[in-house]
Amino acid sequence: MNADAKEPVALARRQESSGVPTRRPEGPPGALEAALLTFLQSKTPGSLVPIERRIFLTMAESAEFSGLPVVFLRRLIASGRLKALRTGAGWRISRAAIETLAGALTDASGTLTEHELRDMEMNRRRRQQA
């Protein structure tokens, strides 16, 4: 025997079939398989209902839908400017609230104080100079 050649090593042991089928025969899934399939579908990231048709969105979905950062949405919830529900799985924000948020954020002149308006104007001037 050559010194470079090695004897094959078995990594697994194969046993003969005991006659018990390992696969289910084709046909409708059983109750356990149907429940498992439903569970797995509920855990997939992409839901069957598109974001535009959902009533409530998660924080990540809300950020994606609105284009705003999650941190900013959390601040709006904490300040009371954005209504949200606290569930066991996290925050849920109604899609309608996000759609009305766009108008509220862009028309901020009526809700801002004189000091906030002055600060916004100063920041705008600084950006123009830079």
Cα 72 to Cα 63: distance, rounded to the nearest angstrom: 9
Q: For residue 92, what are the β-bridge partners?
A: 58, 85
- Look at residue 129 in the predicted model and tell me its pLDDT: 84
Whole-structure pTM value: 0.47
pLDDT 10s digit of each residue in the chain, 130 long? 555 667 766 565 666 656 555 555 566 667 788 777 776 666 666 556 776 677 888 999 888 888 889 998 999 899 888 899 998 888 899 988 988 887 777 765 566 677 777 888 888 888 888 6
What per-residue confidence (pLDDT) applies to 108?
Answer: 58
* Confidence at residue 33, expressed as pLDDT on a 0 to 100 scale: 80
pLDDT at 7: 73
- CA-nearest of 110, 105, 76, 108 to 93 is 76
User: 50-129: which CATH topology?
Assistant: Multidrug-efflux Transporter Regulator; Chain: A; Domain 2 (1.10.1660)
**pLDDT for the residue 29:** 63
pLDDT computed for residue 35 by the predictor: 77
